[in-house]
Chains A and B, each alone.
Chain A
Amino acid sequence: MSFSPRLGLSSSLIAAMLSAPQTAHAFNVDRPSFEVPAMVIVWAVDDSAPGDGIKVVDYMAEASDGTFTDLIAADGRTLLTGTLDPTNDFAAGPDTPLGRFRLRDLGDGSTTIVDPSQGSIFTAFDAENAVFDHYREDIDSSNTMYSSQFGVASNTGFKIQATVEEIYATGEFDVRDIKAKLRTHSSANVNGTLIGQKSTNVGVTLFPNATWRHLEYHENSDIVTMNRATATAPGTILEQSILINPRYLIDTSDTLLWGNDGDTHANSLDLSLGAGEIQATVTYTVYAL
């Protein structure tokens, strides 16, 4: 009858299907695929328009072929530590004088502030008990130290390399006299702007304290290595950022004089510092791990 062909077909298929699950022979497939590139975002100010406020100046993304490209052509310039203002650009004008010194009389304990830039006139003083050294009101206003910062947000580990170039030095100064030290901050409040509330700097490794000479010599050294993403929870770019805080100290001594607590440095700058001028361009380049 009309069913016999079907039965014949079914019979042969039954034989074939006996060893297979009864649900395995018909299927419709979906192959969802998701690819999220590694991304590292750097913010500071635009070097060509530093007065325009903080901006994202590097947006690095990994393409499918594995190349890591900065999608923003602009160069950034760092911020003054503790502010959202751009650092001074020596290329745009005269550099900042070293600042004030102090004359201390160890005999009577008196102190006289001397500001070479103001041409201060003061009286003759007892040379026997006098100490003449740099007057440091606080760490950030000290002109013996240059401290800056920039922000990084990422969904991946990354590293930062520093290049010291365009070095200009006169008098008794050279690249060995500038000591560099790095810090990072995962949370900050900069004049009311909250940074890093959805970030972490756990996992960061910093290059040991070094001089510009070291950085010159170790041109491709990783000065910052972060082995994980900075972002820990959904949020804005600022919230997912950590701050990288490079500091440079002028110090002609043979030893690194950074204090143990990371926030202070020894104040041994006196006449032995010598006289002169030194400046350089330090370029930070960020790579994804």
Chain B
Amino acid sequence: MTISKRFGLASSLIATTASLPQVAQASTLDRPHFHVAPMVILWAADDSDGTAPVVVDFIVEDASGVDTDLIAANGRTLLTGSLTATPDAAGAVQRGIEWVVRASGEDLVTIDTLSPAAFSAFSLDDDPRTFARDSNHASAFFAASNTPFSIRAIASVLGSPVNFGLSDIDFESSISSNGIHGGLSYGTSTSNPSITRLPTGRPLSDFTGEGLDVFVASEATAAAPGSIAQQSVKFEVGYIFDTDLNGAFDLADGYGEIQAEFTYTAYVP
């Protein structure tokens, strides 16, 4: 295909020169030109139906520097260690928090706060505590590129929060250049690319408006021929729900609900 186009160009040049006098100035020119556009490919799940793993962003920077995503679909992150899409808080499903009553290192009671079940009276002899076992939301997505790139994140509130706000959720992240995720091998054709990330601990309220760059890759992820997965690095992100950042969420943190949308946009700087 590429070769035929080149011949097409050569033919047009011949046509142009055909009208020129057949004098000694005649020359034959060849001006080969190859342009490989910067590209960034993101894959995770399809936001519309949750299917995974699928490439959801194929970003190409054109000659004028404009980045264009050639895939209309929006992506949704994956559950950590799985090829399953994260729950969609914008839908009907809400994420409750598993609550636990623990004394002397033993769980006395675990409570599914979305569907609580009855339990027996329990003793206060060993000073039990009651707190959230897990108040984090962790997810992941992948990127393959032939260019340095950045990923910007913008936060917004969904729905009507009760008692809580974006400032009650902290962002954290990590990067993995190779491994196995949900049985899928990734990163075997990368070479531990240099990627810096935003320091952990920024509240989501810092990400409103223009947002913040959460990842900045100073080189391409792809270091050797391979599949998209093989040339990808994994971005793991987490949202820590803790109103006073004391490492535990318990009665002192109050009650309510908050749903946020955190949008990651990749671009070529």
- Give chain A's interface residues, CB within 8 Å of chain B: 1-4, 6-7, 10, 13-14, 17, 22-39, 41, 43, 46, 52-57, 59, 61-64, 69, 71-74, 76, 153-156, 198, 229-240
Contacts and interface: CB of A to CB of B under 8 A. Distances in A.
B223 interface: no
A53 B124 CA distance: 8
Interface string B184-213: 000000000000000000000000000000
Given A22-B67, A33-B257, A34-B137, A72 B86 contact: no
A226 B129 CA distance: 22
Given A26-B266, A55-B123, A64-B94, 7 more contacts: A28-B77, A28-B265, A33-B89, A38-B255, A52-B123, A53-B125, A236-B127
B167 interface: no
A245 to B, nearest CB: 18
Nearest to B122: A56
B256 interface: yes
A129 B2 CA distance: 126
Contacts of B261: 29-31
Given A14-B66, A25-B69, A55-B124, A156 B254 contact: yes
Contacts of B137: 30, 32-34
A162 B240 CA distance: 40
B107 interface: no
A31 B63 contact: no
A206 B145 CA distance: 66
Nearest to A24: B265
Given A27-B57, A35-B94, A71 B116 contact: yes
B194 to A, nearest CB: 21
B160 interface: no
B114 interface: yes
Contacts of A36: 97, 113, 132, 249, 253-257
Contacts of A57: 121
A254 B96 CA distance: 53
Interface string B63-90: 1111111000011110000000011111
Interface stretch (B4-12, B19-27, B175-183, B224-232): B4-12
A214 B42 CA distance: 69
Contact of A13 (B1, B68, B152, B257): B68
A10 B66 contact: yes
Contacts of A61: 99, 111, 113, 116
Contacts of A31: 76, 86-90, 158, 259-262
Contacts of B65: 22
Interface in B35-79: 35, 37, 42, 44, 47, 56-57, 59-60, 62-69, 74-77
Nearest to B75: A28
B227 to A, nearest CB: 20
A27 B130 contact: no
Contacts of B64: 10, 14
Given A1-B8, A32-B89, A234 B131 contact: yes
B86 to A, nearest CB: 6
B118 interface: yes
A155 B251 contact: yes
Contacts of A6: 37, 62
Contacts of B67: 22-23, 25-26
A72 B237 CA distance: 38
19 contacts: A10-B66, A13-B68, A22-B66, A27-B74, A27-B263, A29-B262, A31-B76, A32-B260, A33-B95, A34-B95, A36-B256, A41-B251, A61-B111, A64-B96, A71-B118, A155-B254, A229-B252, A229-B255, A236-B127
A156 B256 CA distance: 9
A271 to B, nearest CB: 45
Contacts of B74: 27-29
Contacts of A73: 118, 120
A23 B211 CA distance: 11
Contacts of A39: 99, 130, 251, 255
Contacts of A233: 252
A198 B252 contact: yes
Contacts of B109: 59
A76 B109 CA distance: 18
Contacts of B95: 32-35
A35 B92 CA distance: 13
Count chain B CB atoms within 10 A of each CB in A32, A33, A240 and give the residue with the most: A32
A153 to B, nearest CB: 6
Nearest to B12: A1
Contacts of B267: 22-23, 26
Contacts of B114: 35, 63-64
Nearest to B130: A237
Contacts of B152: 23
Count chain B CB atoms within 10 A of each CB in A33, A71, A156, A237 and give the residue with the most: A33
